[in-house]
Amino acid sequence: MSEQIIAGKTLGNWEEEIPVLKNIMETESVFWINRFKSDFATASKKVELSKADVDDAEERLARFASFIVTAFPETEKTKGIIESKITAIPTMKAELEQYYDTIIEGKLLLKRDDTLPIAGTIKARGAIYEVLKHAETLALEEGLLKSIDEDYIIFASDEFREFFAKHKIMVGTTGNLGISVGIMGAKLGFEVTVHMSVEAKQWKKDLLRSHGVTVIEHNTNFTKAVENGRMQSDQDPTCYFVDDEHSMDLFLGYTVAGNRLKKQLDEQRVKVDEDHPLFVYLPCGIGGSPGGITFGLKQVYGDNVHCFFSEPTHMPSMMLGLITDEYDEVSIDDFDIDGKTGMDGLAVPRTSGFVSKLMKNFFDGGFTLQEKEAQHFLTAMIDKEGIGLEPAALAGVPGAARLFSTTEGKCYLSEKGLTEKMGQATHIAWATGGSMVPKEDMKEFYRQGLKKSDVLS
């Protein structure tokens, strides 16, 4: 029987070429440094996107602020800007240090995208931006919007809603992207259909249906759900497909986090420069949100920000794509990884080719975590900090501890000349969802963590 060929090579060839691949296939926790990455100035010359694209996205969101305040009164405090706070988590830092038997030098903060208005997840950034941009484009083409200098509060009018009702929006998702697209799309008046993969939680389907969104359930994984949605959308000229795998608009919506985080850190007098490095740990599924945020942060801080993505050990699609240099040409199935994870927001078997090829130049590295780690830290985050996050949102939390407790992490600090500067470092774990999780579901997540803690103690 001939050996399986994966992207032109046998599995044996791959394992010989990339020794850590064996650990990944055995679903062990790994920490990986992106050797393809160059310095920011060089990387910027390799890609078409620039800071001008980020600024354009931010300006568009600012134009829509008056509409957002009108349509979603909960955004009044932030004047229609969809943003989250950053919170210090000192007791969680101590928990991480004890769990991994290490010392985290510098301060540890949590970026609270779990509390983002409207959709309560990181997807509120990119998905809402893409829906709004599509609405703007249609309104300009129709002549309903005369120019971008008008007050966008008119998007809340019956005239605009009746116009958008003639158009459809469709998306394929494991859950959170669909919530953001569905809620904003329905509020504008669009007919929205969300194709949900098998990993999607029931409460997310129920929430969407309560907003008048059509939910189509698939007994398949994320990739197949997206394919089905795209296929159905392509058959209808009035339908717009929000493509989690290939959308540049989705990506650009996430990038605005860079400028906003800088403003928040400045307000808290947190210095970021060559001697005060910033480390950011981002949960990663298809790659759009961590990729976009990384791109935005790099525009602001250049080589002084270090971005690491985090994935489940059973679903390391971005890591496989980057480590093999094959991007979306390989999937976890090729390497016999079962894909079983409770971190549903990260349940993606194949990475985005668009995002992974772009991020090859900017991501500093990544790591995988076990299910028991995510469950333990979910429970600990509630006990120690009173913060309830969904499982996928815990993926970035151990990042700083993993940086200091792994050989690869220590080597990274040494190679970058950062070892002696880490006492002045700032670490940010990006929390991606949780505030909209029903109480009973959160209680069950909490109980699962307790059981794992009992086993570990």
DSSP string for residues in 170-196: EEEESSHHHHHHHHHHHHHT-EEEEEE
The Cα-based distances of 13 to 22, 290, 315, 332 in angstroms read 12, 30, 22, 17
195-215 residue pLDDT tens: 887 777 888 889 999 999 999
SS3 305: strand
Q: Which CATH class is domain 5-51+81-117+255-456?
A: alpha beta
Spatial separation of the C-alpha atoms in residues 86 and 140, rounded to whole Å = 36
Distance from C-alpha of 382 to C-alpha of 274, rounded to nearest angstrom:
34
Cα distance between residue 441 and residue 83, in whole Å: 25
Q: How far is CA 160 from CA 69, 82, 179, 239, in A?
A: 16, 22, 22, 17
Show me where the domains of the chain are located: 5-51+81-117+255-456, 120-250
Contact 27, 313 (CB under 8 A): yes
Task: Report the distance separating Cα 96 and Cα 107, nearest Å.
Answer: 13
235-266 exposure pattern, b = at least 16 Cβ within 10 A, e = fewer: eeeebbbbbbbbbbbbbbbbbbbbbbbbebbe
Q: Please tell me what DSSP assigns to residue 287.
A: S
- Chain-centre distance of CA 171, in angstroms? 16
Total-model pTM: 0.94
Residue whose pair of structure tokens reads 């602001």 in the numeric block: 300
Write down the architecture of domain 120-250 according to CATH.
3-Layer(aba) Sandwich (3.40)
Query: Is the C-alpha dihedral spanning 208, 209, 213, 218 positive or negative?
Result: positive
What's the angle, vertex CA 29, arms to CA 316 and CA 321, rounded to 5? 25
Half-sphere exposure of 429 (CA within 13 A, CB side): 31
Task: Tell me which amino acid residue 207 is.
Answer: L
What angle do helix axes 51-63 and 257-267 make, rounded to 10 degrees? 80
What's the confidence (pLDDT) of residue 13? 95
pLDDT of 406 reads 98
What averages of pLDDT result for each successive group of 10 residues across the chain (457 residues)?
A: 83 94 97 94 95 97 98 95 96 98 98 95 94 98 97 98 96 84 97 84 90 86 72 85 90 97 97 98 96 98 98 98 96 96 90 95 97 96 96 97 98 98 98 93 93 51
Please check whether the two domains, 5-51+81-117+255-456 and 120-250, share a CATH topology.
Answer: yes
pLDDT for 440 equals 94
Torsion sign across C-alpha atoms 341, 346, 351, 357? negative
Q: Which amino acid is at 246?
A: H
